[in-house]
Amino acid sequence: MARIFAREGYDLALVARSEQKLNELAGELKAKHGTNTIVIAKDLNVPSAPDEIYEALKGVTVEALVNNAGFATYGAFAELVLAREQEMMQVNMVALTHLTRLFLPAMLARRSGKILNVASTAAFQPGPLMAVYYATKAYVLSFSEAIAQEVRDQGVTVTALCPGPTATGFQKAADMERSKLVQSGLMDGRAVAEAGYQALVQGKTAVVPGLRNQILSLVVRFFPRAMAARMAMNAQSAVGH
């Protein structure tokens, strides 16, 4: 996503936990596109991080806010570590909401700005074996659609990007590489980022990249919720189970 925004002429503020990796990316973007980059090393699991990010950008006009930090856990909810589930809710929902609230007023005041929140096709149904993750993404989609309606005709747009399984480090971090859903194929990360960027530019409220993902996100709405949960349970189960 950062490479796409740099290609399109944006200067950037990059936020992640690893300052070294951020500096390496900033150097790459400067060399290739002449991009000026502010590096902010923060862990969004820390409740004070959004305020600290906002303070670090005082005096900077933020034209586009991309909330794409997130992670998942995999397994039966009763067996997962509670602290990790709470951290997931903090990163996937609370930090995203906090950052949106901090940066949105200035956008509205100048009647210019765009927000991209990364949800998931998980937002459209319950997700056994990833129960909390699916719930966080349902929140992101609902929140984004609601705020998009609130700011209509005020020069600001809010877009929810809802990708399906995508080739990033996400699956390995969640220890879910053995699930049937992952084994069935992953979408290219660059293609997902391009779809998100184009939807942002066009001011779409939501976008689901990939034909298979689009079909599945539509079809699941016609099933009873219990049936959708059973289907998700089967898809999430490890290969051979």
pLDDT (0 to 100) of residue 231: 79
| pLDDT above 50: residue 42 | yes
Exposure of 172 by Cβ count < 10 A (0-12 exposed, 13-18 middle, 19+ buried)?
exposed
pLDDT (0 to 100) of residue 228: 75
Alpha carbons 45 and 92: distance in angstroms, whole number: 9
Q: What are the sequence ranges of the domains in the chain?
A: 62-236
> Could you say which architecture CATH assigns to the domain 62-236?
3-Layer(aba) Sandwich (3.40)
Say if residues 93 and 136 touch (Cβ distance below 8 Å): yes
pLDDT (0 to 100) of residue 226: 79
Given the residues 133, 134, 139, 197, the one annotated as active site: 133
133 catalytic, yes or no?
yes
How many residues are present in the chain? 241
pLDDT (0 to 100) of residue 173: 53
Q: What digits encode the pLDDT tens for the residues 118-140? A: 999 999 999 999 999 999 999 99
**CA dihedral of 36, 39, 44, 49, whole degrees rounded to 10:** -100
Alpha-carbon distance values, 121 to 22, 69, 140, 160, 214 (Å): 28, 16, 11, 11, 8
Kindly report the pTM of this predicted structure: 0.86
